[in-house]
Each structure stands twice: as structure tokens, then as C-alpha cells.
Structure 1
Amino acid sequence: MKTTQWLGWGPGEQAQQHYLVQPRALAGGGDVRHISEFLRASGWRDKSKKGGPLSMESPDRTVRVAYDPYVLPGGWTIHGTVTGHQDEWWAHLGRQTPVEIVAGLTDALARTRSAHAPDVWAPLREQRWRSQPEAGQVTATSPDDTAWMQFHQSPDGTAMWWAGAKDGQGNGWTAQFTASTPLHLVQAFSAALASPEPVMRPLGRVPPSTRIRTMSVSVLPSQLSAWQQARITAARAATWARNTGPRTNTRPYARAGGTHTRR
């Protein structure tokens, strides 16, 4: 097995084994701090009770993001109140929804909205998802058939967005969004769902699925800390720029590196 050592490895640090997982939709939930720390750095208030579920509130108090793993079915709930021309809306994402996909939506909550008209299906088309228009609904399915995105409208006029992933072995999750959910948020979610980029999981946290592909990565604790801090710094910088002047473009985190072996 060929190994390559990072030049940045310092004395006294022990590399830890992680895995890059594809497709990301089947990578499992991940670390909720990926979301909470970004929102906190973006000026959101932590309303969580000690020992209780996560609860974050937007600076203008119009949106709440909560994660509760202690109830069934558990998972993420995002709720927006009535504001101006925006109706009340909510979204629920299952407990095993990868945090990197949830963050597609929650990160967008903390960023300035683009002036371009949102198109939920555009990120899926770019990744060659198959679209299946039917009576009352439109469904897009990933090329490997592990994930889907659907807009469904019932005969009574009730409409909703529905998405999810499954592998046929019991691993998976679903997500629901009310039709009133701002489309730019649904598009941000679909872009994160369709992204071909792998996500990282530590040893012991990779779901036992025959539908995933993994790459072993030896990573230093200082590298993990640096990547996490880069995401937080980017959130703070964007918040400062939004509040004081023109926006700046910053990359939220760097590509992972280390010793690679395939399995």
C-alpha cells in the first residue's frame, strides 16, 4: 500500500483514521456542530436548554432551527414565521440526514439571498438526475437511484416538497418542506443533496451499506480543527461584511487531505 505523508504533520500529533463517503446522502447524520457552530458564528442565538435538544434562533427571531434526537422520529425541524410577503413555513429532516445536506438549507438562512430567481431542479439537472413528471407531481432521481427530490400536489390543492435517500438495507432518511418554504432555501438544499463531493466520517461512524464507496483518510486533529475553524471564520466574515459593507466571497472549508487507501 502506497502512503503519502503530509508535510504539515508536526511532532506529537497522532493521525486519526477517517473516511470520505460517497454518495453523501447515505453517509449518516454526522456532527450537529457543523450546523450549530456556523449559525452561532452568523449571529444566531443558542436557545438550547442544558441537556436538552439543540435550538437556534435567527437574529431577527423569525426562524428557528432545532435538532431533537430524543423523540421519535426525531431529527431537524426548521420553522419560519409570517414576515411581510412570506407565509409561515416549516421543514422536517430525518435524524440520519447528513449534516452537510441539512447545512445546504441552514447555511442559506444565514446568508444574503441571491437576486437570481431560484430553480430547485437546476442543481439536479447539472448532476444528471432523471426527471419524471407525472400527474400532480415531479420527481427527480439520482443516477445511482439512492436519492430523490419530489414536488407533490394533492387533488385538494395541498402541496409539499419531499426528498430522501435509501439503500435497501434499512439506511436512509426523508425530508419534507411545506410549499410555502422559500424556494431559494429548497434550491440550496437540492444543491447540497446532489453534490458529488464526498463527506467525511470518523472511524466507526460509516453506515454498513453496500451502496456507499469509501476512501480511507489519515487526518491530524489540528487539520480537523483548522477546517472547522475555517468554516466558522467564513461565517463571521460574511456576517461582518453583510452588516458593514459589500459582501466578500470566502471558501467555507478546504479539501481534506492525508493518507489515502481505497476499500
Structure 2
Amino acid sequence: MKKKQWQGWGPCEQAEQHYLVQPRVLAGGGDVRHVSEFLRASGWRDKSKTGGPLLMESTDRSVRVAYDLSVAPGGWTIHSRADGANSEWSAHLGQQTPVEIVAGLTDALTRPRSAHAPNVWALLQEQNWHTRFEDQNYTATSPDQSAWMQYRQDADGSAMWWTGAKDKQGNGWTAYFTPNTPMHLVQAFSAELAGPDPVMRPRGRVPHSAQIRTWSVSVKPSQLSAWRQARITAARAATWARNSARSTRPRTTARHYTPAGGARTRH
């Protein structure tokens, strides 16, 4: 009896039904690997325990990204401990926050900070979000009123970033960032929050909402794999480039001068 040789997907692979969903803010959570595989490819450590929640840790151990549904209300937690130059900060995002929007923040954690001053509101205004200032709160709302970004200050002086999306039935998600969350990370998040492009979800994973629009598309498993691999490859290439730049950076620390003959004077 001859053994059958697996030919891969090849020309016989079957396309699967997926949907493009718009607006992206109401597309549902999606596949958490969109976030975790990028972080892993960027050199982050996977500290998850078997059967437990997702837990990723940065290479310098200063930042942790977790996804946990075993606690209420469940979802994403990003926490950065304080160091000599930066204060402690954290972000909490509901489990229905689309992974593409979460990745706006988590991908930015792997990149050097831009020299340009971040501006959260400019990116939203470019996508025709309406901005207004009321009391101590500055708010931007999407054109269809389904999503918002707000910097709010209470009477006692406490402040935070508050954002989210809701349809008319009340389905959606909320998230908040402590006020000292680095602005370039909030900007990266808001860029994906306001992104005009639809996101893809498999059949059976599209939320029931009268406020979303969907387009059916047929996608081969090899195509999905290729798209996922392209994102991973980009993360690895960027990490390699940064590490190479560090290793080739000229030494700036002055070396101790030793007189001819190698003798040093003792005091």
C-alpha cells in the first residue's frame, strides 16, 4: 500500500467565507494572535502558562501585555512599570476591542519613539471626527457617532483617556488609559481607531448589529497564512534592523588612558 503524499493546499485548497466589516470599531474582538505573534516576532517573551491567559513581556521586562477572560470584565491590560525616566502607566481595553485597534498601541510599544510631537486629535480630525471641549473634557466623536475618544478631568483633579464604541443596541467596548500613558502610544491607538478601512472576520464571528456593513469574500487558507506571515516578517525585519543599529553604534565612553609601558600609578 502506497503512502499518500501531502501536496499542501495547492490548487485543491478550498476557499473559506469571510466578511469585510465596516466600521472597524464594531467588528468584534478578532484573533488575539494578531497582537501576540507580532510581539513575539519583535523579541517579546511569551510568559503565558498552559491553559492560562495570554501574557507577553517586553525584552527589558518593563512592559507586560495580557489578555484574560477569566476575570470580570475581561479583556486586554497593558502595564508599564516606572523606571528612571518614565512613570508607571496602564491601559485597559474591553474584550470586544478589535485586535487591529489594540495592535495600534501594542505594535507601537516595539518601535522607537518618533522625534515629532504626537497629536492625538489631528489624526481624528483628518478622518472627519467632530471635536469639542466641554467643562474639563475634550472629546472627539466619529462621523456616525459610534465611537469616541475623550480626555476627561474630574473635579478632584484626576484625569484619564476614555475611548470606546457602541451601536444603538448598546453592544461594543470601552477602554481607558491612565493620564501618564505616553502620548505617542495614545496617538498610535487613535490612528487605528479612526482608520477608514474595513477589517476581516470569519463566518460566525461577525457581530449582529444594524450599524455595520459587511461584504462577503472568499479567502483561501494559504492567503490568510501569507498575510499573517507578512506581518510577522515585517516585525522580525524591523527588530533585526534596530538591533543591528545598536551593535554598530560607535562607542561613546572614553577609555582609561594607560601610559606607555602599561604601568599605572597607585594612590
Instruction: Report the TM-score, using the length of structure 1 for normalisation.
Output: 0.89
What is the letter of the counterpart of residue 44 of structure 1? W
Instruction: Name the counterpart of 2:50.
Output: 50
SS in 1 for 2:108: helix
Structure 1 residue matching 2:77: 3-state secondary structure: strand
1:189-204 to structure 2, matched below 5 A, reads 189-204=189-204
Aligned position for 1:112: 112
What is residue 231 of structure 2 aligned with on the other side?
231
Counterpart position of 2:153: 153
In the alignment, residue 192 of structure 1 is paired with which amino acid?
E
| d(CA) in 2 for partners of 1:89, 1:241 | 28
AA of the residue aligned to 2:145: D
1:181-260 equivalences in 2 (<5 Å): 181-245=181-245
Give distance in 1, aligned partners of 2:11 and 2:53.
38
Question: Partners in 1 of 2:50 and 2:10 — Cα distance?
Answer: 37
User: 1 CA distance for matches of 2:14 and 2:120?
Assistant: 43
Distance in 1, matches of 2:225 and 2:123, equals 30
What residue number does 1:100 align with? Answer: 100
Output one character per residue of 1:20-58: Cα deviation in whole Å (capped at 9) or x when no partner: 100000000000000000000000000111100000000
Structure 2: tracts of 5 or more residues without a match:
1-8, 247-267
- Is 1:37 aligned to residue 1 of structure 2? no
Tell me how far apart the structure 2 counterparts of residues 87 and 154 of structure 1 sit (CA, whole Å).
21
Quote the residue 1:176 is aligned against: 176
Partners of 1:143 and 1:83 in 2: CA distance: 40
One-letter code aligned to 1:223: Q
Aligned residues between the structures: 238
Letter in 2 for 1:176: Y
Deviations 1:55-88, CA, capped at 9 Å, x for gaps:
0000000000000012210000000011222110
Partner of 2:73: 73
Match in the other structure for 2:25: 25
Residue 11 of structure 2 aligns to a residue in which SS? Answer: coil
Counterpart code for 2:88: E
Q: Distance in 2 between matches of 1:69 and 1:197?
A: 28
The aligned counterpart of 2:254 is none
| Distance in 2 separating the partners of 1:100 and 1:38 | 12
Describe the SS at the equivalent of 2:66.
Answer: strand
Separation (CA, whole Å) in 2 of partners of 1:211 and 1:52: 34
Residues of 2 paired with 1:84 and 1:144: CA distance? 43
Instruction: Name which one, 1 or 2, has greater alpha-carbon Rg.
Output: 2
Residue 212 (structure 1) shift: 0.3
The CA deviation string for residues 200-220 of structure 1, in whole angstroms up to 9 with x for no partner, is 000010000000011111000
SS at match of 1:121: helix
CA shift for structure 1 position 122: 1.4
CA–CA separation in structure 1 for the residues paired with 2:170 and 2:152: 24
Give TM-score scaled by structure 2 length. Answer: 0.87
Q: Per-residue deviation at 1:10?
A: 4.4
Structure 1: which 5+ runs fail to align?
Answer: 1-8, 247-263
Aligned partners of 2:61 and 2:149: how far apart in 1?
29
